[in-house]
Amino acid sequence: MSPLPLPLGRRPHRVPRPASPLPWLLAGLLTAAPAAATPLSAASAKFDLRYDRIEGRAKERLQGAVRLGVRLDLAGVADVALDASTGETYASRWSTLHDFTGGDAGSFPIFVRRLYLERRLGPARLQLGAIPPIKNIASSTGIDPDGWIDGARFDLEIGDSVVELVAGSLSDLETPNVFSRDHALDYFELELTQRLSRILLVEASGEWLGAGRFLRGEARFDLAPLVGRGLHASAEGVYDPRRHTGLAGATVGGEPLADLGEAWRRALSLRVFYAYIDEDVGLRGAIADDFVQFGHALSLFGDGRITRDGALGWFARYVVSETPRVTVGLKVSTKR
């Protein structure tokens, strides 16, 4: 495995390999089931448009992202979920519509990134296929939620605890098309999530990624019951015990207008987060959520609704680092 993902648009020369049969098996299950047994249980469509400028890298561009999601109920036995979007790499769903520095605009293809079966049995859940890389809430040191894991996840709720086991392939980061990816069993995760009180939730996990071994821990604080305004905070880290290196992050966020009522609460959400990613972490750091660059980065992120139903919204981000970054944009969404 390459220690770092290749830059966008650069792909290594590879000898063609037989495609994994797993996506085709899932697609076959979907198309073979009777129409009456596969009702549409959920569907969503999102379009984001942003202006993005990265100082020090001579990047200034207008970008767009399309995200489509479909969930079908297979006669109450299981669900089939499909997620398709733009973006040509693991950690990005964005395509360049216009390059203000004179570069060429990128293409705007839409790929099926994830396609999987999900089966729930009481407190247990099984996902099989090209599954989401996270089970719930994204963390700054966790794996980027825009990506995928080709494999399986099993999680089990036991009281205030959740045990999660993931195994699969996380090696082909330059192929967003689920039907074309190469596969190698190179990723495992065992995670325990425990709610200790109404304001404190902790996570601890062990990860295997290629030849890398990592320990991860996180504490999340829901301070809203104490001070209101949706205030929350977290502290987290990933440690590589063999190379004595890792990642660290801290986040504080809230809804400053929450006291003015529900409509105002959703109009503005703010989050400040700090991240440090050591270069020696390699691939594990590059696929972390909100990855900007190796080293230190401080980000201020804001978003909110423009319309009452949330169909139109806004977002903005400013990153303080060796290569400062400014992003501002609009988002349009619909779902059923």
Per-residue pLDDT of the chain in tens (336 residues, 90 and over written 9): 333 333 333 333 343 344 444 444 444 544 554 544 458 889 999 999 999 999 877 789 999 999 999 999 998 899 999 999 999 889 889 999 999 988 777 778 899 999 999 999 999 999 999 999 988 777 778 888 899 999 999 999 999 999 999 999 998 899 999 999 999 999 999 999 999 999 999 999 999 998 899 999 999 999 988 888 889 999 999 999 998 999 999 999 999 998 888 778 889 999 999 999 998 888 888 888 877 788 999 999 999 999 988 899 999 999 999 889 999 999 999 988
Tell me the torsion sign for CA atoms 85, 291, 245, 195: negative
Instruction: Give domain status of residue 237, yes or no.
Output: yes
**Secondary structure class of 310 (helix, strand, coil):** coil
Q: Is 247 a member of any domain? A: yes
281 lies in some domain: yes
| Residues 6 or more apart whose Cβ sits within 8 Å of residue 132 | 83, 114, 145, 148, 149
Q: Can you give the pLDDT at residue 28?
A: 52
Contacts of 25 (CB under 8 A, 6+ apart): none
Q: What is the CATH number of the domain that holds 178?
A: 2.40.160.10
In a domain, 278, yes or no: yes
| 57 lies in some domain | no
* CB-CB neighbours of 164 under 10 Å: 19
57, two tokens = 């890298």
Q: What is the DSSP letter of 147?
A: S
Number of separate domains in the chain: 1
CB burial class (10 A; 0-12, 13-18, 19+) of residue 299? buried
Q: Pairing mode, if any, of strands 149-158 and 124-131?
A: antiparallel
Q: How far apart are CA 132 and CA 106, in angstroms?
A: 25
Q: What is the pLDDT of residue 241?
A: 93
Q: What is the reported pTM?
A: 0.84
Residue position matching structure tokens 């448009």:
49
Q: Could you tell me the two tokens for 137?
A: 């809430």
Residue 286 lies in a domain: yes
The parent domain of residue 182 ranges over 117-335
Q: Is residue 42 included in any domain, yes or no?
A: no
Residue 262 has a pLDDT of 79
Nearest CA-CA partner of 300 in 313, 285, 315, 278? 315
Q: Give 203-219 as a DSSP string.
A: EEEEEEETTEEEEEEEE
> Residue 253 falls within a domain, yes or no?
yes
| Residue whose token pair is 């963390």 | 139
pLDDT of residue 56: 75
